[in-house]
Amino acid sequence: MRKPLLVLGVIAASLLAGWCGHAVAPGLARPRPVEPRGALYDWERISIQRFKEAAPSVVYITTTEERSRGFFSFEVVEVPAGSGTGFIWDTEGHVVTNFHVIQGAARATITLADGSRHEASYVGGAPDKDLAVLQLAKAPPKLRPIPLGTSADLQVGQSVLAIGNPFGLDQTLTTGVVSALGREIQSVTRRRITGVIQTDAAINPGNSGGPLLDSAGRLIGVNTAIQSPSGASAGIGFAVPVDTVNRVVPQLLARGRLERPDLGFEPVAPRLVERAFGTQKGVMVGRVTRSGAAARAGLQGVTVDGRHVVPGDLIQAVNGKAVEDWDALLDAVEALPLGSSATLDITREGRKQRVAIRLEAGREQ
């Protein structure tokens, strides 16, 4: 009985030796040798390094909303509402994202790059700018805030990187270039967001709120929207510029809202401006608030003289910068410090004038 076992052992050892020596049975093709890859290109090494540096600062946000179980039920349950991306703003655990990512949510949960999940509270938002700030319930140690850059000196053609969670696929990197500058998109309030960065880096649902980085790994924008008939990336994405973000977020941290100057008047509908002033562009002063900033500056609104309506002042520039509509006027004054004064170029009864107005804090944006 031992001899057959010995023969089987020899055969098994031979087969094992043949396998370890990569012996190939007759009739089977040998695997092709692997070509040496060589060194990575410089641009590849840069992308890899920037991703490794920035990825720990990028988070995955999931939200839930409250719904009743049924028409006759008073029981309220939380159901998934959506998801998006955000990034660490500071070591205190503040996270910046798009306002539309958390709009209407009852609860938000943030998943960090290490996979840990944390409840988050709402700090504040600026719907007009599509920006919001959340706070981790318990900030873990050694959070890595994302480095800030500037959007004022961007150039078309610069390389950019976007990190986000498209379709729930976390820690996804896409690359591209700055395709255009100075674009305009609409916020959730229908207010225009100006100075927007256009990029061809793939941005899909779930990327919203994530960082757009330059080749130095600095934040230059917050990815916020795509333009696509199908809802998926078609090579046209948009990001709120970081200079806007860096102006808005400190106000949200301090007050929970973005304050803007209250000019103390209501604008007149554009069609009435065209009827009164023809091709001249600007904002016509309508009803002036008593003792408001416009009244103290001496601005005159629309008045009725018998059967005739007398047009109000037409504001055409702020500190020498032309403004063609209400959004442009708000953009111009919001860029100035509260408490400062601005010079308005106006047309009144066919004559050009200049009026100084003091910018005082008003209603929430």
Question: Could you list the active site residues?
Answer: 100, 130, 208
In angstroms, rounded to a whole number, what is the distance separating the alpha carbons of residues 252 and 124?
A: 5
In angstroms, rounded to a whole number, what is the distance separating the alpha carbons of residues 59 and 117?
A: 10
Give the contacts of 53 (CB within 8 A, at least 6 positions apart): 217
φ/ψ of residue 49, rounded to 5: -65, -40
Helix (H, G, I), strand (E, B) or coil at 352: strand
Q: How far is residue 293 from each of residues 219, 325, 328, measured CA to CA in Å? A: 37, 19, 18
In angstroms, rounded to a whole number, what is the distance separating the alpha carbons of residues 320 and 323?
A: 9
In this structure, what token pair is assigned to residue 164? 């986000």
Q: How, if at all, do strands 131-136 and 94-97 pair?
A: antiparallel
Contact 327, 357 (CB under 8 A): no
Helix (H, G, I), strand (E, B) or coil at 230: coil
Q: How far is residue 41 from each of residues 47, 130, 133, measured CA to CA in Å? A: 10, 37, 38
In this structure, what token pair is assigned to residue 337? 């410090």
Containing 273, the helix (H) or strand (E) segment is helix 270-277
Helix (H, G, I), strand (E, B) or coil at 294: helix
In angstroms, rounded to a whole number, what is the distance separating the alpha carbons of residues 5 and 271?
A: 101
Containing 20, the helix (H) or strand (E) segment is helix 2-20
Contact 158, 199 (CB under 8 A): no
